[in-house]
């Protein structure tokens, strides 16, 4: 996963500047005794393989307790220092795999593994840190059951959590200043998702967002606090990329959907998003190219005020009837989870699996 000299030479100028700054800061911290620590992210897989995800950070030995545990401001997630190209070890199913994180300290490795369907764990460690420093951690992974045919892929911003993105000032306030406990959940969406996974036991749930990996721990806590079904997050690297100044959210989402179609070909997905950004366009593109992998599309309608704050034009309010697109896929639209459930109720998506 480490860039070769040839790959490093073609990095975008902004990425090279970012790397240079990070190297200076990381070197300064390591001279003061700071060590590599792994932050595990939830991964996923199927019988025979597993995708392991996480990030290696440079932290003070033993960690530093937060002075005010009740307040968790978003800006703290963006002041961390990653360990570029740091080595790590994955241990799963009696096998041991050694690899390196990428330039942002991210771990994203698919390995062979013999794990049963359901929630399982893999072991991640860094060679430099011993057990006392917490060098080994357990990362949760969701193994999809080949017998389960329906899955749920959900956007996060303004779909399950009210963020009013992408208006810059509000986005900055919500992301960097607001205490994470003040984030509001979209009404009815947690109940909707719980009803769906109850009707389809074992259905994989994944949260696909253009948000940064920096906020993954906060998002995981938010989803748990508001009783959303647990599931891996598929987020993006914040800041300059290899080939551009900033990441493309649309490209990230389409690439993630394409990958899931290849990795879990037996699953038909219910795609859930909102009409405040590009979710309808992204889902329509994916449904047209992979109709066999899409069961339906559910879009949360933003109110006129929410749509303006999110930088889009208001759409028709209220619940819309179930319609089909060119690929024959069902499209549902409603302002909240209760409205979407009223459209899904009575369909095979809401009916318990025989």
Residue ranges of the chain that CATH labels 2.60.40: 5-143
Q: How far is CA 205 from CA 125, 144, 176, in A?
A: 27, 10, 27
- The confidence score (pLDDT) of residue 321 equals 53
- The confidence score (pLDDT) of residue 78 equals 45
User: How far apart, in whole angstroms, are the C-alpha atoms of residue 11 and residue 23?
Assistant: 16
Contact between 251 and 224 (Cβ < 8 Å) = no
Residue ranges of the chain that CATH labels 3.40.50.1000: 150-344
- The confidence score (pLDDT) of residue 132 equals 42
Domain 150-344 falls in which CATH fold? Answer: Rossmann fold (3.40.50)
User: How far apart, in whole angstroms, are the C-alpha atoms of residue 121 and residue 91?
Assistant: 10
- Secondary structure (DSSP) of 4-68: PHHHHHTS-HHHHHHHHHHHHHHHHHHHTT-EEEEEEEEEEEETEEEEEEEEEEEE-TT----S-
Mean per-residue pLDDT pooled into runs of 10, the chain (354 residues) = 48 62 70 82 97 90 50 47 88 94 91 96 82 72 97 95 61 50 86 96 95 87 95 83 60 96 97 90 94 95 60 50 64 94 90 69
Domain boundaries 5-143, corresponding CATH code: 2.60.40
Query: pTM value?
Result: 0.82
Residues 6+ apart with CB under 8 A from 158: 164, 165, 186, 274, 276, 277, 300, 302, 306, 310
DSSP letter at 301 equals P
Residues 6+ apart with CB under 8 A from 255: none
Contact between 337 and 324 (Cβ < 8 Å) = no
- The confidence score (pLDDT) of residue 339 equals 95
SS (H, E, C) 115-181: CCCEEEEEEEECCCCCHHHCCEEEEEEEECCCCCCEEEEECCECCCECCCCCCHHHHHHHHHHCEHH
- The confidence score (pLDDT) of residue 303 equals 64
Q: Which of 213, 215, 210 is nearest to 178 (CA)?
A: 215
- The confidence score (pLDDT) of residue 141 equals 98
- The confidence score (pLDDT) of residue 85 equals 86
Q: Which of 108, 89, 144 is nearest to 234 (CA)?
A: 108
């Amino acid at each position: 996963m480490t860039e070769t000299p040839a790959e490093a030479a073609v990095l975008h100028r902004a990425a090279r500047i970012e790397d240079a700054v990070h190297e200076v800061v990381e070197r300064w911290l390591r001279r003061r005794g700071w060590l590599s620590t792994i932050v595990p992210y939830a991964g996923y897989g199927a019988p025979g393989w597993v995708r392991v995800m996480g990030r290696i950070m440079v932290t003070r030995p033993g960690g530093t307790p937060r002075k005010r545990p009740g307040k968790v401001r978003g800006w703290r997630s963006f002041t961390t220092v990653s360990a570029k190209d740091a080595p790590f070890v994955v241990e799963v199913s009696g096998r041991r795999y050694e690899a390196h994180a990428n330039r942002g300290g991210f771990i994203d490795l698919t390995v062979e593994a013999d794990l049963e369907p359901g929630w399982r764990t893999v072991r991640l460690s860094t060679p430099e840190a011993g057990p006392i420093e917490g060098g080994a951690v357990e990362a949760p992974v969701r193994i999809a059951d080949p017998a389960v045919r329906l899955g749920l892929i959900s956007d996060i911003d303004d779909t399950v959590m009210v963020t009013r993105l992408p208006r810059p000032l509000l986005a900055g306030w919500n992301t960097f200043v607001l205490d994470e406990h003040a984030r509001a959940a979209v009404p009815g969406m947690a109940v909707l998702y719980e009803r769906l996974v109850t009707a389809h036991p074992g259905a994989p749930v994944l949260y696909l967002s253009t948000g940064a990996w920096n906020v993954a721990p906060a998002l995981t806590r938010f989803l748990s606090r508001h009783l959303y079904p647990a599931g891996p997050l598929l987020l993006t690297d914040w800041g300059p990329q290899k080939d551009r100044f900033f990441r493309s959210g649309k490209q990230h989402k389409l690439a993630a959907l394409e990958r899931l179609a290849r990795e879990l070909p037996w699953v038909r997905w219910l795609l859930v998003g909102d009409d405040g950004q590009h979710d309808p366009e992204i889902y329509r593109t994916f449904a047209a190219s992979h109709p066999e992998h899409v069961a339906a599309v559910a879009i949360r309608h933003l109110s006129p005020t929410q749509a303006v704050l999110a930088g889009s034009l208001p759409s028709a309010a209220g619940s819309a009837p179930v319609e089909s697109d060119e690929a024959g896929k069902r499209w549902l639209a409603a302002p909240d989870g209760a409205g979407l459930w009223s459209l899904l109720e009575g369909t095979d998506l809401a009916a318990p699996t025989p």
